Amino acid sequence: MLTGRWSSEGLTAKARCPVQEVRTMCGRFYIAEEDKAEELQRIIDLMNRKYNGNPGVKTRGEIRPTDIVMTVANGQSMQQGVFAMRWGYTMPDGKPMFNARSETAAVKPLFADGMKQRRCLIPATCYFEWEKRGDRKIKHAIATQGQEMIYLAGIYRREGNQAACSILTREAADCVAHIHHRMPVILPAEAMPDWLNPRYDAVEVLRAAQTNMNFTPV
């Protein structure tokens, strides 16, 4: 659970780094049209008020790299707020870097600054992954057991007038490893404030990542 008071201020300053990085997989997540999670609806309402219902910000449906997504982050005065960010760092080849490996992000020039001081959370109902079965690919909706919504751990940077985020990934939990060998880092409620606070070590906070997952073919 995140704190009750939210800020409408801006994000911290721009970070720059041209270094290329290997792209890993977590390429879709989803926000249900009729999601009943009160906290998720609260974030959507705050986003709509802050951005005047801008249709360019994806608050429902299937979310893809380069979409403008909802995030929660600390603003310049370290107060939590909601922010619209493009999903994926823009790389020299024009392709979006939409994932960062949590195991190495802290030491990679492209991601190290974000791991230290530009962290965010991306709210969702679930994420999607595809399981290969022979010539077929089976699409699965994956979420944490017993929870109405999930928060994906991310990092961000400024790119001109737009903030861009990348979702952290980790080795898949045993229960979903047969679907894909990687999964996004999903943080429990008690770890979220520490993740947003740069005074806490990112690698240590990520150790709390959730691994108790449900999956459903869709």
- Asked whether residue 10 is assigned to any structural domain, the reply reads no
Q: What is the CATH number of the domain that holds 92?
A: 3.90.1680.10
pLDDT value at position 10?
64
What pLDDT sits at residue 77? 79
The number of folded domains in the chain is: 1
Q: How far is CA 26 from CA 65, 85, 101, in A?
A: 9, 17, 11
In this structure, how many other beta carbons lie within 10 angstroms of the beta carbon of residue 35?
A: 18
Q: Is residue 7 part of a domain?
A: no
pLDDT at 19: 35
Question: What are the per-10-residue average pLDDT scores of the chain (218 residues)?
Answer: 54 42 70 86 94 90 97 90 97 95 97 98 98 95 96 98 97 96 97 97 98 96
Q: Please give the full DSSP string across 4-64, using - where no structure is assigned.
A: S--B---PPPP----------S---EEE-TT---HHHHHHHHHHHHHTTT-TTEE-SEEE-
- Residue 15 in any domain: the answer is no
Decide if 19 is inside a domain: no
Question: Does residue 201 sit within a domain?
Answer: yes
d(C-alpha 145, C-alpha 207), whole Å: 18
* Per-residue pLDDT at 13: 46
Whether residue 4 lies inside any domain: the answer is: no
Which structural domain range is residue 122 located in?
29-217
Structure token pair of residue 24: 């890993």
